[in-house]
Amino acid sequence: MSTKFFNTHFNYFFVISLLYSGTLLAELIDINNTELQELLNEKTLIVDVRRAEEWLETGVIKGSQLLTFFDKNGNTNTEKWYSDISNLSDKKTPVILICRSGSRSKVIGNWMRRTLGYQTVYNVTDGITGWKRSDGKTVMLE
């Protein structure tokens, strides 16, 4: 194999790697309640992905955007959800996702990064139940 061949292909690979490095290196960031509070203090967008009956049951973190992802049967309309989240945030703005226990928000966060190209997505690992257990404040919906 010639040096010219190697250099040409190496340079091509290097440029492609640079172009996609933001997407490839982006990862879902799991956060605990202390980290959540810090991000809330910085006015980071928080999206509660639970269903309406769950919001009514536990309340929500003040300032949360309420955007259900999965219905009670586990179905979703990803096109509508993408449209709704796009109205709240662009792909470069950090987003915190919260659900009941951290499971749904983890799935959604990974989907947002891999499929939609969001760069910084946080997952509250213990969800709203963990937030409330640690005396985190919520507001009740009417």
| Domain 27-133, architecture per CATH | 3-Layer(aba) Sandwich (3.40)
Phi then psi for 121, rounded to 5 degrees? Answer: -125, 130
b/e per residue 125-141 (b: at least 16 CB within 10 A): bbbbebbbeeebebeee
- Sign, CA dihedral 56-58-59-61, equals negative
- Is the pLDDT at 137 greater than 90? The verdict is yes
The token pair that represents 61 in the structure block: 């973190």
Task: Give the pTM.
Answer: 0.82
Q: What is the residue-wise DSSP string for 95-119?
A: EEEE-SSSHHHHHHHHHIIIII--S
14 Cβ neighbours under 8 A, 6+ residues apart = none
Radius of gyration of the chain (CA): 19
- pLDDT-based confidence at residue 4 (cuts at 50, 70, 90): low
In this prediction, residues 65-82 reach a mean pLDDT of: 96
pLDDT of 90-132, one tens digit each? 999 999 999 999 999 999 999 999 999 999 999 999 999 999 9
